[in-house]
Amino acid sequence: MANIFDLFKKIEKESAPAAPVTHIVCGLGNPGDKYVCTRHNAGFVALDYLAKEMGVTCNKIKFKALTGECTINGVRVLLMKPQTYMNASGEAVSEAAAFYKIPAENIIVISDDIMQNIGRLRIRKSGSAGGQKGLKSIIEHLKTENFPRIRIGVGQKPTPEYDLADWVLGKIPKEDESAYFAACKQIPDIVALLLKGDTDGAMCKYNGFVGK
């Protein structure tokens, strides 16, 4: 009889509804095969590493994004890859935030950073877009800069005259892939720290990290 009760408890646990989503982790990029492994898609790549670590696939179309849900350290999280193209990322993020009533400080955004060397990480609690159009769009739609972000270095333009669009939409060179992917692989650990509220710890440990 005890075994039957254990079975009932197991079924009840498995069928129990998931806790409500309280946080968003959004990776920025552009949809479409031609943008795979471009500098601008660092956020997508990093989010894929996080999703894989959590055993989730971001394949549900919702809020103008590819989404998936998971629980990280007891926190229910919506993972997002906006499909609006980079410059309109804020449309997707603000729509999801409004639906779940999530404050800006509970939204973690992952993006590329052309001011940092390839594979170098930079975590900030808040701040301006720094020229990153996806962050700019999110700031405009949320009407605040007060959300944490993780920026992944993809290298600076070789010359000031080099066209910015050509640079960010260019592929990561083979010789830089090791450093780039090494940085992206740190994202699950960083996100876990941020969700615990240990932003200072994440910054102390990972700011300046350079993949090899």
Catalytic residue ranges: 40
Q: How many CB atoms lie within 10 A of CB 182?
A: 15
Residue-by-residue DSSP string for 122-153: EEESS---TT-HHHHHHHHHHT---S-EEEEE
Which one-letter DSSP state was computed for residue 64?
T
Contact between residue 23 and residue 107 where contact means Cβ atoms under 8 Å apart: yes
Q: Using CA atoms, how far apart are residues 37 and 168, in angstroms rounded to an integer?
A: 10
Question: What are the tokens at 11?
Answer: 């079924």
> Which residues are bridge partners to 24 per DSSP?
78, 107
E-assigned strand segments in the chain: 23-27, 60-62, 65-72, 75-82, 107-113, 121-124, 149-153
